[in-house]
Structures are given as structure tokens and as C-alpha cells.
């Protein structure tokens, strides 16, 4: 039997040693990499809570009280969540540009906007350590919740109502049952021991530590095994304890309403202005809201034309309502809609000679000015 050359045997030995060394290095380095990534995720989560604390104080300075946990009509209809009210005080796109506050968050007039635009502002409400970022209904989830003693149904608590803001829990990690971004049912009982109920506080991934932002704005990593008597004391003064009716949840799992809804196209169009195109369920009315401009001497981004034609493809748009600030080049685009009969510009600010555009239109269009 012919023996392999000694130099070849040595080569295989070297390869084997190298493989072993590589495996050892990977085994040593991989946990460190994973720990570094988790540390970064924890830092991001702490920063999210810090931003909530700052935003709450900015809201309080402006409005005079903490944001309501959720707004509800007299008949109990849920309208909007603290997430929506607070968002305008964070470093994100102001959502009230696209949300109708006179309609519930899940009304067809709002629901499409919620689905389409959440990506513009949702990241600050997600903990990167938690894989679940959507609800069962496909809406973006919120991983944090406020102290229900401070923020509940139609609440208006002031910081002056607290005995000590440094020891009063404002918001913390939610231990499961994550609501959708716009769902007003988002508050938790601070007197429930951490990590014992899915509707309480605690972290679903980090078993030993829960992050808390207190009412004075400082963020603290709290051991999940902290004495329940201590965490219960963070709820606030007894005078703020809400009645059961003010913190009651749904009687049954919530389902988003179904039925015809408006279709939206939403985009940023120059100067960070958010604009939206809104098509009615019967595809006969189009509302184009361009927002407000601060400097008319700068050109707008006209790439939204593609959204217009995609949205109206196959539709028989007869009625167009234009709102906000636009230029005459953008205004002229609407005359290309083949079934157009009525065009309202009563609430539009158009830069340019609109009369010339109207005069050269081959169709007889009813103008509302």
C-alpha cells in the first residue's frame, strides 16, 4: 500500500489545526458579537423611553397636562391613543397632517392612513429586542405603555398632581399583548408585579431587567424581581388611582372594522412636507392635500405624479378637491383625469396663472373657488 507523502500528511494536519482554531475563535467571538448587538438594542430601547419622557414634558409645557391615555366619546367609542398625541412632540413627522381627529382611529377615513403612514413614525415605539413588530391585524405594534394612574381614558393629570416625579413611573416595557399604534387601549397597571401578566409591565425577552422612564424624565434599568411593594409605590399618589371604568379594556379581543375604505398615497414632497392623495371607495372623488409651504421660491418635488396615476388607474374620478400649497405645473396635472367634472380649489394656494390652465382645458369643468 502506497503511503501518502509526508508533506501531504502535514498539509492535512495544518488544515485540521486551522479548522479547530477557527472554530474556537468563532465560539469565543460569536457570543461577544451577540452581546454587543443586544447591548445596542438595549441602548436603543432606553433612548426610546428617554424620548418619551422628553416628549411628555414638552406636551405638558404646551398643553398643561399629560397626554390622555386615550380619548373616548361619551358613548364609549375609542378615538385616539396617547401615541398619536405625543408623536408631534417627538423628532418625527407630525401625524395630524394625515389623521382626522374628528373620526375614530380605525374609521375608514383614518385606517388607510394609519396602515400606509405608520412607517414614518413607528420606529420610536418599537423595542428592537422584540421580534413581534405587528399585531394580529397587521398593524404596527407599540412595545411601551404608560402608567394607567397617570394616563387613562380621557385623563388630564398634571405633573403638579404628583408627590415626587422622580419616583413615579411614567412609562415602561409592556409584557405582551401589544396594541396597535393608534389603538387607544394602551395603559398598564403599575401595581401588578413585573412579568406576571401579559397586560402588565416587564420585558418579554430580557428576563432580568425592565426599563422604566420616571415622570421627571430619567430612565432606569429596574431588576424584574424588584419587590412588588416598591414598584407599586411608583404608581403615584392614592388620589390619582383611576376607577375601574377609566381603565377597562375591551370585553373581547378587538377586531378592526371591515368594509369600504378610502385609499391613500402618502409621501414627503419638498421641505419635509407630508402630502397625501386620497381616493374614495367608489373611486369617483379624489382629495389632494399638499400641506403648507414655507418658501414658495423653492421648487417642489414633482415625482408624486407617479403616485397620482397609480392611485387613479382604472378609476372614474369625477370630483377633485385640492388643498394646501402647490404650483401651477402641479395644478395642471389634474386636468389630465379623463372623467373630471368638478374641481375645487377653495382651500388651495396655487402659485402661477391658474386662469390660463383652466382656459386651455378642452373639457367643461365646474370650478369651485
CA 265/CA 134 separation, integer angstroms:
21
> Which grid cell is 64?
398643561
Contact 258, 106 (CB under 8 A): no
Q: The whole model's pTM is what? A: 0.65
Per-residue pLDDT of the chain (369 residues; tens, 9 = 90+): 455 555 555 576 767 777 777 777 766 666 655 666 767 888 899 999 999 999 999 999 988 999 999 999 888 888 899 998 887 787 654 444 467 777 888 887 777 667 665 556 677 899 999 988 888 877 889 999 999 999 999 999 999 999 999 999 999 999 989 998 889 999 999 999 999 999 999 999 998 999 999 999 999 999 988 999 999 999 999 999 999 999 998 765 555 555 566 777 777 776 556 788 888 888 999 999 887 655 445 556 677 888 899 889 999 999 999 988 888 999 999 999 999 999 999 888 898 899 999 888 888 899 998
Contact 33, 40 (CB under 8 A): no
Amino acid at each position: 500500500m502506497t503511503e501518502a507523502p509526508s508533506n501531504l500528511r502535514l498539509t492535512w494536519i495544518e488544515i485540521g489545526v486551522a479548522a479547530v482554531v477557527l472554530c474556537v475563535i468563532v465560539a469565543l467571538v460569536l457570543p461577544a458579537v451577540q452581546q454587543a448587538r443586544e447591548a445596542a438594542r438595549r441602548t436603543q430601547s432606553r433612548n426610546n423611553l428617554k424620548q418619551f419622557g422628553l416628549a411628555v414634558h414638552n406636551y405638558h409645557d404646551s398643553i398643561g397636562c399629560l397626554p390622555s391615555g386615550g380619548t373616548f366619546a361619551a358613548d364609549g367609542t375609542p378615538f385616539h391613543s396617547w401615541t398619536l398625541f405625543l408623536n408631534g412632540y417627538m423628532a418625527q413627522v407630525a401625524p395630524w397632517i394625515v389623521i382626522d381627529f374628528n373620526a375614530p382611529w380605525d374609521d375608514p377615513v383614518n385606517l388607510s392612513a394609519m396602515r400606509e403612514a405608520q412607517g414614518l413614525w413607528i420606529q420610536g415605539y418599537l423595542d428592537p429586542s422584540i421580534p413581534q413588530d405587528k399585531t394580529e391585524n397587521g398593524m404596527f405594534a407599540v412595545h411601551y405603555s404608560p402608567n394607567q394612574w397617570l394616563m387613562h381614558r380621557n385623563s388630564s393629570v398634571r405633573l403638579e398632581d404628583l408627590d415626587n416625579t422622580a419616583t413615579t413611573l411614567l412609562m415602561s416595557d409592556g409584557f405582551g399583548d401589544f396594541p396597535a399604534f393608534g389603538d387607544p387601549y394602551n395603559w398598564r397597571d403599575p401595581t401588578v408585579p413585573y412579568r406576571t401578566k401579559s397586560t402588565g409591565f416587564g420585558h418579554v425577552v430580557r428576563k432580568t431587567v425592565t426599563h422604566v422612564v420616571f415622570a421627571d424624565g430619567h430612565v432606569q434599568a429596574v431588576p424584574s424581581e424588584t419587590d412588588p411593594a416598591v414598584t407599586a409605590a411608583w404608581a403615584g399618589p392614592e388620589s390619582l388611582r383611576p376607577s375601574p371604568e377609566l381603565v377597562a379594556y375591551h370585553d373581547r379581543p378587538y377586531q378592526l372594522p371591515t368594509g369600504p375604505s378610502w385609499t391613500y398615497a402618502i409621501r414627503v414632497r419638498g421641505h419635509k412636507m407630508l402630502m397625501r392623495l386620497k381616493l374614495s371607495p367608489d373611486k369617483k372623488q379624489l382629495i389632494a392635500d399638499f400641506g403648507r409651504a414655507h418658501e414658495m421660491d423653492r421648487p417642489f418635488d414633482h415625482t408624486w405624479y407617479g403616485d397620482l396615476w397609480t392611485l387613479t388607474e382604472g378609476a372614474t374620478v369625477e370630483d377633485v378637491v385640492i388643498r394646501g400649497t402647490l404650483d401651477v405645473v402641479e395644478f395642471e396635472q389634474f386636468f389630465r383625469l379623463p372623467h373630471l367634472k368638478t374641481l375645487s380649489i377653495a382651500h388651495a394656494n396655487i402659485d402661477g396663472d391658474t386662469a390660463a390652465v383652466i382656459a386651455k382645458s378642452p373639457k367643461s369643468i365646474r370650478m369651485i373657488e
